[in-house]
Structure 1
Amino acid sequence: AAAPAGAEPWQRVEAVRWALFTSAAKDVPDRQTYFGQGLLRAHAALDVPFRADLPKTPADTVSFPWLRLLGIVDAVAAPPPVGGELMYEVEALQVFLQTPGLEQLAGGADPQTDPLSPADRKKVIAALRASPLASKALREHLGKVYRAM
């Protein structure tokens, strides 16, 4: 359905999200595991009326604080990254989550909330650097982080 005149851009985004999620086919095996909200039914989503009453979804955040920990600084206390540092953290988190064995190497620690011992952190950084999923730029950055440890 068409958005009414005067709808804010974020309202359009929320309405599209609502239409996609509510019209998705939810009767598929293993839906939660593989398809989240369900299988996309784009034509059906076009028939969902615009809703202006939806709340604004908070902005997402992503980080990989293990790249910026120095000495005894705790992961929670480290300042949030900006610019290029944030890009490295986003990629490092993606590589961490997609590389088999890295979660076990970190002892099941959550990279966004749990601190790592310096020895475990060094192992994780080395394994991230060795991953074929890491870009050349990330490998170079991880090399600098590793040498500074």
Structure 2
Amino acid sequence: MHHSRLSTLVLDCQAGDLQEAAEFWSRALGKPIVTLDQDGDGKYAELRTAADEPIILLQKVTHESRVHLDIETDDIEAEASRLDKLGAKRVNLVRDRWWVMEAPSGHRFCVVRQQREPFGPHLNAWDGTDGN
């Protein structure tokens, strides 16, 4: 059995200045900026959200700006396999840490490791018997 839940709303920003994008979204959503450089590489900024809200992350990208979802899990391989059975496709394993996947609708999303403690309350438990 493994667990997963919606974790993060990721604003993919094709922008020269991630700080400018973060300041806009911070003001637009009424969420203060936690950091403008989450990983030390200048690619990720985070806005403050409550513990029961999804994380809001801004990611500097080279492709067109869009929004994607991250699903967090305590077993990345089991969750990716479950989603495969539902019709998703694996696109790319990034740094051996998360899967970029594509839904049958064409939307890209990521399967990532657990992002917050505690792991609830909006948690799904999957037993692996039927893909649900």
Task: Give me the TM-score of the superposition, normalised by structure 1.
Answer: 0.25
* Structure showing greater Rg: 1
* Bigger RCO (CA 8 Å, 6+ sep): 2
TM-score by length of 2: 0.28
Q: Which has the higher strand share?
A: 2
Is the helix fraction higher in 1 or 2?
Answer: 1
